[in-house]
Structure 1
Amino acid sequence: MIERLVVIGVGLIGGSFALALRAAGVVRHVAGLGRDPQAMARALELGIVDEVCESPEQAMRGADLVLLAAPVGQTGPILASLLPFLEPQSIITDAGSTKCDVVLAARGVLGERIGQFVPGHPIAGSESNGPDAARAELYRGKKTVLTPLPENEPALVERVASAWRACGSLIHTLSPQDHDRVFAAVSHLPHLLAYALVDDIAAKPHADMLFQYAASGFRDFTRIAGSSPEMWRDISLANRDALLTELDAYLAQLTTLRATLAAADGRGLESVFANAQRARREWIEAIEAGSPPPQHRDTE
């Protein structure tokens, strides 16, 4: 039982965490802390939190578990505001989409108390934002990646893992370095591409006509461009090196594809399309089969 949960940033991610733990019956009291008074008032109105705190001191009083659900660029300042009031029993975790920068910021702020911070990343979300987007079932059947630190006691890691399991999540473990390399390819690059495509079309002189005829394919491909620009700015900059590597590889693929198209090489185009179709089908089948967490070797 979590006696006091503190959620910093009660939007889609933080709000859904609180609602899921409530639905599982494993939390007694949820305190919310955030920078937007209207959003916090709405979270209270919706029953996501029991209390809206005016200060870190008020929020951290008696806290068992603290979730940082704010843009990763805010990690250092938020932790600095919490540190003077961090009690011995309190565990802090986060939901950031990058981990190396988050760990670096946490080490710089928490120092010898870094063992109380267990980094994490739930692999679930939506293009919607704010407390109204939160839902208890968001994490059900979805992965949560933990990137434990050498200073984390196993019991503390298990307490964070058990909270995510109570939300219905499947726990995976990666090193921060492996995490950021993986998600540069399968999450951060797709967001970059979706934003770039919509921005490109919006800048054309006949954008109104183009959007008028855009249908489900365009909507599905660009759905994630509706996500928080602030959050994805921070993620892109935080994982810049890995993201640049993936972007360069994608640019090379586009260059090859352009040459294939310019040469009217139908067989070459079909080969790329068929390989992509096969890989996507296998990926979907693996998801539907509920494949167990693979064993990963941590790398530096």
Structure 2
Amino acid sequence: MSQPLINKFVVVGIGLIGGSLATGLKQRGACAEVIGVARKPETCVEAVERGVVDRAYTSLSEVASELRQGDVVFISVPTLSVTSVLQEIKECISSEVTITDGASVKGSVLRAAEQVFGEVPPQLVLGHPIAGSEKSGVTAANPNLYENHRVILTPASTTDAYHLGLTTDMWNAVGAEVLTMSVEEHDEVLGATSHLPHVIAYSLVDTLAQDIHNPNIFRYAAGGFRDFTRIASSDPVMWHDIMRANKTAILQSMDLFIDNLSRLRAGIEQEDSDYLLKVFSRAKEARDEFTLMLAQRQAPSSKD
């Protein structure tokens, strides 16, 4: 039997992102053991009972002495909680252990690492899986969540090649495609393509729920409303943290969207048929192109 890629995989935060990676690695035989760390004892118990982890603790320090080279600690907590986890890592985890994360904002994690360590330590590989669901918590763990999805790694100049390589291999093992880019580019791109859509979805649902005084407003909502607003069921704490952590990029995207929405409003008010058709046609063309790109990316290769 071949040696697993990772010896001990430690997931700090046993929710959708961390739990899915844990179960994905377990099912594929890519790690010898999965250890969970969660703030609540009941979460630890449930994670073990569901088979998401092999054992679980409420503190990283309880397992720290076991960890060596070839082990991985994956930080999967709300963005603004990463600093405290890094502080605990500094105090009790060997520099041989690979540390990586799944936070949706990389600039805030970079700053947290610099604050705690003085620089990004060689063992730390900043990363973000571009996959998710409106579901959250340990019950949402899905071993196939990352198949045919992209993971963006944003290594610093100080990141060691060994730790970067192990992190890359880890994501490849669960079926993900790994890309690299700068922290700045990541936060700008995700601010527009992920964070802005969540802003819009949350705002739309809140507007309909609070400001339109019609008790039947949701009763007659069709599939388009359901599909468009699905992401408004995502974890509020996680998205609260993301909005604060990536404020600059999100505000820039919001300003651009608001300007375009204002122009669209004027087009509707003035019954500017040409303008409306141009906007809708341009958007349809862009959306169709995106759908085609996605289908091509997910299609099985000729080698399969």
**Structure-2 residue corresponding to 1:283:** 290
Distance 1:190 1:207 in 2: 25
Distance 1:119 1:135 in 2: 22
**Structure-1 residue corresponding to 2:29:** 25
Q: What is the CA-CA distance between 1:113 and the residue it aligns to?
A: 6.6
Matched, 1:201 2:208: yes
**Structure-2 residue corresponding to 1:234:** 241
Contact 2:113 2:119 in 1 (8 A): no
Distance 2:218 2:63 in 1: 45
State how many pairs are aligned.
Answer: 292
Matched, 1:127 2:134: yes
1:155-187 Cα offsets, whole Å, 9 max, x none, are: 210100100000100001010000000001000
RMSD: 1.5
Matched, 1:55 2:43: no
Distance 1:2 1:265 in 2: 60
**Structure-2 residue corresponding to 1:68:** 75
Q: Give the share of equivalent positions with the same residue, in percent.
A: 39
**Structure-2 residue corresponding to 1:297:** none
**Structure-1 residue corresponding to 2:188:** 181
Contact 1:62 1:87 in 2 (8 A): no
Relative to structure 1, the CA distance from residue 174 to residue 277 in structure 2 (aligned partners, 3 Å threshold; closer, same or farther) is: same
Contact 2:40 2:58 in 1 (8 A): no
Distance 2:226 2:43 in 1: 28
Contact 1:33 1:59 in 2 (8 A): no
- Where do 5+ consecutive residues of structure 1 fail to align? 292-300
Contact 1:122 1:139 in 2 (8 A): yes
Counterpart pick for 2:228 among 221, 224, 227: 221
**Structure-1 residue corresponding to 2:279:** 272
1:184-235 Cα offsets, whole Å, 9 max, x none, are: 1000000000000011111135343101111211111100000011100110
**Structure-2 residue corresponding to 1:39:** 43
**Structure-2 residue corresponding to 1:248:** 255
Distance 2:181 2:119 in 1: 23
Distance 1:290 1:199 in 2: 35
Structure 1 length normalisation: TM-score?
Answer: 0.94
- Where do 5+ consecutive residues of structure 2 fail to align? 299-304
Distance 2:54 2:260 in 1: 51
Secondary structure, counterpart of 1:201 in structure 2: helix
Distance 2:104 2:221 in 1: 30
Structure 2 length normalisation: TM-score?
Answer: 0.93
Q: What is the CA-CA distance between 1:39 and the residue it aligns to?
A: 2.1
Counterpart pick for 1:141 among 132, 141, 148: 148
Which has the higher mean CA deviation after the structures are superposed, 31-40 or 95-104? 31-40
